[in-house]
């Protein structure tokens, strides 16, 4: 019963966040994940609700993330000629962006004195939560810290990404999509779909390819670096 | 009838995820079932050579509200604040700068490599 109330509150907060986003013409700062999470967290604090109690309701939505990810196949199928024509640039961009994000994060955090366990949890920050948690697990990082870092990365990328790319004069929907999907996984892809189907499709491809490549390669790199 | 087609489309998405999950665990690959399921559905559509209307509608609806499914994860950050505060400064700087760098590099490499590549439109 309580779980259902939190589920309903989460959906209500999301609907309100969408309304706000529309009022400001989908400005990236009005990120629906962030805007919806804030009142829910405030209510939990006000009512003394633990995260475990919340999760009993909230996890129903998390469950839908699976089929929603599978659904990315539909715009991909519809835009297949465009994606195939840009296959090589896509792979190069995803590879370069992914290596930059992982290498940059590790180097910066290491230089600032972060512990090894933190570094191992930080490395998979650009990929979707289940992959990041899996990598943290196999490399003896902290899966829950990895998950939190992934979400922060996604929200940050979705908020700053479109703004910064526009500042740099990059408006090509394909390029914006590839960047969001490579650096900010599903939350970046959700943002990309707010911008348009082409942006969203390229973001989805980048998210998938980066996720698969990271899942297969990053554990080896980390074991070699820190093992 | 329309409702039935919707339910069928939703079932197809779940089925693709299940097939993906079982395939990955059988192969021992660390790839989530949903990501593998995306490939399963794409292969299915390629064989079918057409996109059923109901599947298009359900997928479009889910993707339009992709943000909704991340809200619980955003709320979950609350539970992890103490963890994030560990090495807090280093983490904040590393996450911010590396995310921005990754975005910019991916976008520029794509623009550079995609120069002169036809759009794929009208193929």
How buried is residue A69: exposed, middle or buried, by Cβ count under 10 Å (0-12/13-18/19+)? buried
pLDDT tens, position by position, A73-114: 999 999 999 999 999 999 999 999 999 999 999 999 999 988
Question: In sequence order, what are the residues at sequence separation of 6 or more whose Cβ sits closer than 8 angstroms to the Cβ of residue A214?
Answer: A98, A102, A124, A126, A127, A131, A135
Q: Chain A window 121-180: which residues touch B at a Cβ cutoff of 8 Å?
A: 122, 125-126, 128-131, 134-135, 138, 142, 144-145, 147-149, 151-157, 160-161, 164-165, 168, 170, 172, 174-176, 178-180
Q: Among residues A70, A94, A122, which one ends one of the domains? A: A70
- For residues A49 and A79, state if they share a domain: no
| Stretch among A19-33, A102-116, B75-89 having the lowest mean pLDDT | B75-89
Read off the pLDDT of residues B39-57 as tens digits, 9 standing for 90 and up: 999 999 999 999 999 999 9
The domain tally of chain A equals: 2
3-state secondary structure of B30: coil
Query: In this predicted structure, what is the pLDDT of residue A134?
Result: 87
- Residues A142 and A146: their CA atoms lie apart, in Å, by 6
User: Among the three residues A70, A90, A115, which one is the final residue of a domain in this structure?
Assistant: A70
Q: Are residues A51 and A33 in the same domain?
A: yes
pTM of the shown model: 0.91
Residue of A nearest to B77 (CA): A148
Please return the burial class of A222, using the count of CB atoms within 10 Å of its CB with bins 0-12, 13-18 and 19+: buried
pLDDT tens per residue across span A60-75: 998 899 999 999 999 9
Contacts of A134 in chain B (CB under 8 A): 30, 32
Residue of A75, A145, A190 lying closest to B67 (CB–CB): A190
**A116 and A196 in a common domain:** yes
Q: How many whole angstroms separate alpha carbon A149 and alpha carbon B87?
A: 12
Distance CA(B67)–CA(A10), nearest Å, equals 12
* Same domain assignment for residues A147 and A55: no
pLDDT, average across residues A51-58? 92
Q: How far is A119 from chain B (nearest CA, A)?
A: 9
Give the domain range for residue A102.
Answer: 75-226
For residue B120, name the pLDDT band (cuts at 50, 70, 90).
low
Contact B101 A215 (CB under 8 A): no
Q: Give this complex's ipTM.
A: 0.92
Mutation target to probe the A interface, by most A beta carbons within 10 A, among B18, B40, B52, B94 is B94
pLDDT for res A20: 97
């Amino acid at each position: 019963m309580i779980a259902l109330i939190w589920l309903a509150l989460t959906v209500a907060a999301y609907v309100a966040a969408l309304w706000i986003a529309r009022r400001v013409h989908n400005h990236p700062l009005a990120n629906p994940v962030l805007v919806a999470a804030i009142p829910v967290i405030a209510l939990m604090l006000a009512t003394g609700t633990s995260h475990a109690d919340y999760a009993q309701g909230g996890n129903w939505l998390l469950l839908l993330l699976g089929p929603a990810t599978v659904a990315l196949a539909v715009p991909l199928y519809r835009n297949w000629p465009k994606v195939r024509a840009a296959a090589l640039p896509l792979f190069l961009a995803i590879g370069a962006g992914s290596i930059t994000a992982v290498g940059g994060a590790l180097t910066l955090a290491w230089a600032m004195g972060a512990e090894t366990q933190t570094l191992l949890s930080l490395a998979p920050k650009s990929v979707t939560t289940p992959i990041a948690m899996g990598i943290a697990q196999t490399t003896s990082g902290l899966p829950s810290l990895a998950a939190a870092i992934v979400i922060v990365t996604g929200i940050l990328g979705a908020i700053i990404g479109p703004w910064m790319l526009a500042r740099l004069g990059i408006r090509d929907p394909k390029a914006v999509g590839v960047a969001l999907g490579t650096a900010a996984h599903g939350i970046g892809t959700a943002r990309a779909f707010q911008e348009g189907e082409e942006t969203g499709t390229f973001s989805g491809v980048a998210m998938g390819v980066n996720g698969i490549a990271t899942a297969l390669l990053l554990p080896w790199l980390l074991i070699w670096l820190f093992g | 009838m329309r409702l039935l087609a919707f339910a069928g489309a939703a079932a197809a998405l779940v089925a693709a995820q299940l097939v993906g999950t079982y395939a990955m665990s059988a192969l021992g690959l660390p790839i989530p079932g949903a990501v593998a399921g995306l490939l399963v559905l794409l292969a299915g559509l390629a064989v079918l050579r057409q996109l059923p209307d109901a599947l298009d509608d359900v997928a479009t609806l889910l993707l339009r509200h992709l943000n909704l499914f991340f809200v619980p994860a955003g709320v979950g950050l609350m539970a992890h604040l103490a963890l994030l505060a560990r090495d807090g400064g280093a983490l904040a700087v590393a996450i911010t700068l590396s995310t921005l760098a990754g975005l910019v590099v991916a976008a520029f490499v794509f623009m550079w490599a995609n120069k002169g590549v036809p759009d794929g439109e009208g193929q």
